[in-house]
Amino acid sequence: MQGKDINIYRYITLYSLDVICESSMGVSINAQEIEDSEYVKNVKLLCKIVAERQNRLRERFDLIYWLFPNYYREKRAVRQIHNFTYSVIDSRRKLLDESSPQQENDPEIKKRVAFLDMLLQSTVDGRPLTREEIREEVDTFMFEGHDTTGSAMSFALFLLASHPDVQVSSWIFIFNNKYRHF
């Protein structure tokens, strides 16, 4: 592979989607292994549609956006993503309802609390969040988080690859900080 260009963005975004899905919803979607899953395809499609809509003047206007095929693709993808998120919310809620007090005091379980679990236990002005409010929060966290993180990690890797002198000093810094207590 030496001397060849590699588009790492695809791999990084799948990785970040796996990590964010695990940390936000507490479920594994295995985006890196199952790249053609409905959820992964819909997330990729929405990212593509958002980019296309920004670059196409005629699709920017909500008043006429429904005249274009991307409108219907977007609606279908959003509906499928919402259905997936709702199913995860329902299963996590059921799991939390069924958990015993002994499990709640287990330090291993406590340190792996997903963002969704915190939302399910949260209240606003004394009332629990609705199913839709929870879905909105999780979807925003997922959609915005994986793309932004994937872009940032890709650019960081590109910059490190472009500056070999920084690579060496970065590894020295990491090594010194990791092993300084020995």
Paired tokens of 124: 């606003």
What confidence score (pLDDT) does residue 59 get?
Answer: 94
pTM above 0.85, yes or no: no
CA distance 176 to 182: 10
Phi, psi of 139 (to 5 degrees): -60, -40
- Among 173, 168, 92, which residue's Cα sits nearest to residue 135? 92
- Among 59, 50, 26, which residue's Cα sits nearest to residue 147? 50
pLDDT in tens, 143-180: 778 878 888 888 888 888 888 877 766 666 666 665 55
What confidence score (pLDDT) does residue 111 get?
Answer: 60
Q: What is the DSSP string of 38-83?
A: HHHHHHHHHHHHHHHHHH-GGGS-HHHHTTSHHHHHHHHHHHHHHH
pLDDT in tens, 81-132: 999 889 988 988 888 888 755 555 555 555 667 888 888 888 888 899 999 9
pLDDT in tens, 21-67: 888 888 888 888 887 888 888 988 998 999 999 999 999 999 999 99
- The separation between CA 108 and the C-alpha centre of its own chain, rounded to angstroms, equals 23
Q: Which domains does the chain have, with CATH numbers?
A: 9-178 (1.10.630.10)
Q: What is the mean pLDDT of the chain?
A: 83
Q: Are 91 and 134 in contact (CB under 8 A)?
A: no
pLDDT in tens, 9-34: 888 888 888 888 888 888 888 888 88
- Cα→Cα distances 172→153, 165, 178, 180, Å: 20, 11, 10, 11
